[in-house]
Amino acid sequence: MLKTSIQTEKAAVILKLLGDKTRLTMMKLMDSHACCVCEFVEIFQFSQPSISQHLRKLKDLGLVKEERKGQWIFYSVNKNNEYYSFIKPILDQLPSQDYKINELEEKGTRIICC
């Protein structure tokens, strides 16, 4: 059953997290692709700790999940999270970021593991 309501306070916390261009773009990307930290570093041109800290915040709220594959840790949107139905309509309205993945592939820096 679709969740139709969410605590206002929780909603505000989630929206604040999504209210950062970097995190919002990451979420849009991770909604359709599992990505690792080094890919985000390449895409956003921020330091690796900066990317890790963004992911940490998203993970702390349960919005993303991580899966280690060898030396890499792949992050993706946690679609089993109870708030996924809240954020999905938001992500769906955002322009696709797939071209960023394509750019990685063209540069040969896309990580495809296992």
Partner DNA sequence: TTATTATATAACTATTCGCTTATATATACA
Partner DNA sequence: TGTATATATAAGCGAATAGTTATATAATAA
Q: Which one of DNA, a copy of itself, none interacts with residue 103, CB within 5 to 8 A by kind? A: none
Task: Tell me which H or E stretch contains 35.
Answer: strand 35-36
Dihedral over Cα of 71, 63, 79, 51: its sign: negative
Q: Which residue has the tokens 């349960």?
A: 62
Q: Which one of DNA, a copy of itself, none interacts with residue 7, CB within 5 to 8 A by kind? A: a copy of itself
The residue among 31 and 34 lying less far from DNA, judged by its C-beta, is 34
The residue among 10 and 69 lying less far from a copy of itself, judged by its C-beta, is 10
The residue among 10 and 68 lying less far from DNA, judged by its C-beta, is 68
CB of 1 to DNA, least distance (A): 32
What is the spatial distance between Cα 92 and Cα 81, in angstroms, rounded to a whole number? 17
Angle between helices 21-30 and 48-60 (to 10 degrees): 70
Q: Which one of a copy of itself, DNA, none interacts with residue 9, CB within 5 to 8 A by kind? A: a copy of itself
The residue among 23 and 28 lying less far from DNA, judged by its C-beta, is 23
End-to-end alpha-carbon separation of the chain, Å?
Answer: 35
